Each structure stands twice: as C-alpha cells, then as structure tokens.
Structure 1
C-alpha cells in the first residue's frame, strides 16, 4: 500500500474507530470483546483499503463488524444461556453512568438479531434499508426485529425502575 493510502487510512482510523468501538460495545456488552470486534473490522478494512477508500469505507467497516459479530453469536448459539449476570459484572465498562450500564445489560438480554437491529437503527442512526443491507436481511425483518428489541428493552428498563423504587 502506498504511503498516501496509508495516510488516508490513518485519517479514517482516527475518525471511525471511536464510533465503531462504541457500536461494538453496544453489540457485545463487553469491553474486551468490543475492542477485538472493532479492531478486527478495522484490520479487514485496511486489508481492502485500496478498493474501499473511494466508496463508503465507514459503511464497509460497519458491515464487516456486524458480520463478524453475527458469526460469533451463531457459533455460540449452542451454548447454554442464562439470565443471571456475574457478580460485579466488570465486563460492562468500568467508568460509565448507571443508565448506560443498565441499557447495555438490557441489550445483552435481547436476542442477537434484535440487539443488532436496535444498535444499528437507534445508536448508529442507520435507515431501515441501510440496516437491512448491513445485516443481509429484508427491510421487513429489520422492522420486526427492531420492534421486538425495543419492546424488550422497554420492558426490562421499566422493570428495573419498579424494583429500584
């Protein structure tokens, strides 16, 4: 890769990495997993930089990140899931306000596809069409998963409010 392309990627990295890392954290709910996910997405974007740089590199990196996340949860689908969180839950993020921590915990309890749709639509502000393209599903599926995900989040967050009152 030529040095001008490397400089372009460095600029892209500086602009895109905080946003990708935050989205990855919302998808995974774990700081270390989010860092790995964002790093892998950026590494794969760098590997294809000569062809990606003239298009929409952020969209490409985001798509790579979502695909990697989807591959991860598909591989773990056979694991036994539990509603119980570990004590102290240090995976959520050490220096965050309680509302953000509650939101990420609630996101972690959603089905993976629901979580992806909610994060892409409402955190990354993608349109339904962009979300469908990023996930490789139909717009109708995006609407359905997003509706179910938001309903689940509301129920969990309202339940949390009533138990703290």
Structure 2
C-alpha cells in the first residue's frame, strides 16, 4: 500500500515538473507526513491526502529554495506583445520580473508557461472556474509586462 502511495506521489510531482531527485525526496516527506497524521485522515481519502501533502511540500520547497525560473520570453507573451520585448535579451531581467511575482502568481506562471497547461487544466488543478483562470493569466501577463518595462528602464 505505501509503495503504491509513494509511486502516486512521485509521479504526481513529476507531472508538476519537479526534477526527479527532488520528487523522490518530496514524495518521501509527503508519506512521512501522511503516516504521522494517519489517525486524522478519513477512510478512503488516503491517496488524496498523500497527493495534497506532496503538492504542499513542493510549494514549501519552492518557497524555501526560491529557485529562479528561466523561461523563454517567447512562450510568455503573444507575438504582438513579443515584438515590444525583442530588445530584451538578458535572462536576468526576466528572472527578476518573475521573482517579483507573489508565490501564487509564480505558481500560475509555472503551470501556464513552463508546463504549458491549458486554462481548463489549470482550473481543474486549482479547483476554480476556467474564466477565473483566464482572467488571472491576463493579469499575470499585464503585471509581467509592467515589471519588464521597469527593468528595461533601470
């Protein structure tokens, strides 16, 4: 049973884009957390608890390590917007802009532009309406655009 739960957590983390070595560690931490809280978990909800614990442990890991995300600006903006930013070649500018985002915005950025998930997939993952995700992505693009303009000026 525990091996199946470990595999489920491990593959869930890989699906989220976690590197393999980190996914192994985080999956183990999620199982340990599950084992320690076994009395408080409802019957039949064990797998869901493990997957949620794995996702939360990954969020904690990101918060602690504050890894820089290097992304091609081409994937972030549509072509019309991209033409405005063709002069920006320095990846550090992009990293700084992404690092200025809140943790939730960084998570959305990761899901949309790194994992290239559709709005429907993101809405299912975040348990929200797809129109809400569409609005959140629009606001995220707008905020990144402003940050990149500020970085370009300085």
The alignment's TM-score, normalised by the length of structure 2, stands at 0.49
Structure of larger gyration radius: 2
- Relative contact order (C-alpha < 8 Å, sep 6+): which is higher? 1
